[in-house]
A and B are shown apart, each in its own frame.
Chain A
């Protein structure tokens, strides 16, 4: 293991599926999780706000009847509405997270927007109990700290309040003290939050353009020899792939120039794309055929062996 890992490599994990395929998982970044949480709270409170407005609108209908009675007694309908509001708040607080995380996407709306979802840490099935457990713990992690943060600095609760605040701040800081960014609820439930990428299949590069070496523009045939192709490794190949897929003229001519300088060709102009496509296809063919014989070349610095 190298000592220096990039921020993304640090979050890479692997799960072995029952089929024996190593499946990479990326632990969701803490930033994405905070953003998802804020989004969820925004949605939740917005829904509650709309709900209250709706209730007030409904209540205004029989407000007159209330005034007519001239008693401070609640009518049956008003009482029913109050019950509905209290129960709705309770259900919204727990039901929102539960129902979405139990669904096929395993993510609340906020998590979906951030491209993350919950998964079972051991690679097994995500069970309903796990989802329930991780959401019950949200109470001490989120709702109580907020209450404490609001009340403790005022000193109304004395030292107990401050001690409680420190205690709950610890819970909020929990994800920063372990490498999988687990919060207390994740530990209790055996879950973690991972990235759920939805990648589109890009076109195959070797079917188009000058992959066979012949440029349609000039009619020349690009052929690269053993010495020219052995300069680069897989890392450079993938960089070249990105440049070709992005199809940005400036970047292509810069890369074209660099490659020509490296292999000792005199760079022409106007036919960069065909050159790069031909170079990409031949470099990849060479590296892939080496790969089948068990030889891999990570980048231009490594020995081809």
Chain B
């Protein structure tokens, strides 16, 4: 019986010749020696691909890869049925596994993925979790009302809710002038970029936490949202008590529309995972978790981008631009842009996942 010599289809003679086929006493070893050249060729291509440099792999080799992979896979099935050579079997198993990882590996690099993400993937993922966004929005509004009511009933709550970094001069009983002073513009931009970078690092951490805690059926995510918004409610109460509601809202809106939107999305993404794990429907809990987890991850990459924008807004325009109208204009424009991007922009049609 003569086996077809497939290696001649991809003629490249640089691989060292295996031992003489006829010298093998066993037919299973002859089978192996006849195919060894293809296996080594596949291994050679794999090694270069795994090295990370696609430039060292020629187009012909890339085209040959699937065929070589299938040859190795069928060699493995034949060897399993006919050969008792443990070394060859384990070599083939590892070779087929490595080839499988390359043939069925991530199809797109980080940049291709990012471009698909910006051109439709992001807004699609956001639209897919609309129900969770509604729930998270409701919780956030409820949280700020709770914060307001708590402080209104007992000012002691203010000190418990608001972190100490905000309670410098912004405390109950402060005069209108003192409060207005905290909303004023800075004289110059020194140090503001450091401020922006640390804000971003901090806020992105909070958002990622809100997402990651969704794992526990979403309840910690919601608690985090309530707590953060209660702080906002308490400060809103403080400023409105001195008739500064509009100024405070304007001061906050410059970056707040972007940042609160991002926190809303991260909470919703966490809630999405929790909700799908609690009510998986026909899927297994694990399948539901991974499906919603991947969708949530897309939203979260977007949240990190929004956090960058928010931190830049918080550090520069908010501190440098004065006047409630100007500030409201900036904040409102950004809110409109985000809403349009998420819900009006449809982008490219989705590529088939498989």
Contacts and interface: CB of A to CB of B under 8 A. Distances in A.
26 contacts: A21-B74, A21-B76, A23-B96, A82-B194, A82-B197, A86-B201, A90-B201, A102-B110, A104-B102, A125-B105, A125-B107, A127-B106, A128-B113, A132-B298, A133-B294, A137-B212, A139-B212, A184-B215, A200-B91, A201-B87, A201-B91, A204-B32, A204-B88, A207-B20, A234-B84, A284-B84
Chief secondary structure at chain B's binding surface: helix
Contacts of B204: 90
Contacts of A53: none
Q: Which 4 A-B pairs have the closest CB atoms?
A: A190-B290, A188-B293, A133-B297, A129-B294
Contacts of A83: 193-194, 196-197
Nearest to A83: B197
A172 to B, nearest CB: 13
A247 interface: no
Contact of A124 (B73, B76, B94, B354): B354
Interface in A172-217: 184, 187-191, 196-207, 211-212
Contact of A133 (B49, B104, B293): B293
Nearest to A74: B191
Interface in A84-125: 86-87, 89-90, 98-99, 102-106, 117, 119, 121, 124-125
Question: What is the interface residue range for chain B against chain A?
Answer: 35 or more
A103 B105 CA distance: 9
Interface of B: 19-20, 23-29, 32-33, 36, 39-40, 43, 49-52, 70, 73-74, 76-77, 81-88, 90-91, 93-98, 100-102, 104-110, 113, 190-191, 193-194, 196-198, 200-201, 204-205, 208-209, 211-213, 215, 273, 286-287, 289-291, 293-298, 300-301, 353-354
Contacts of A284: 26, 28, 84-85
Contacts of A73: 190-191
A106 B102 CA distance: 10
A159 interface: no
Interface string A13-43: 0000111010111000000000000000000
Contacts of A207: 19-20, 23-25, 29, 33
Nearest to B295: A129
A200 B90 CA distance: 9
B84 A140 contact: no
Contact of B208 (A17, A139, A202): A139
Nearest to B296: A133
Contacts of B296: 133, 188
Given A128-B106, A130-B294, A203-B19, 5 more contacts: A126-B105, A129-B298, A132-B301, A133-B293, A137-B212
Interface residues of A, number: 75
Given A197-B94, A205-B29, A90 B107 contact: no
B286 A187 contact: yes
Nearest to B22: A207
A152 interface: no
A301 interface: no
B6 to A, nearest CB: 16
A99 B296 CA distance: 19
Contacts of A299: none
A136 B201 contact: no
Interface stretch (A2-10, A248-256, A287-295): A287-295
Interface string A225-247: 00000000010011001100100
B26 A288 contact: yes
Contacts of B297: 129-130, 132-133, 136, 189
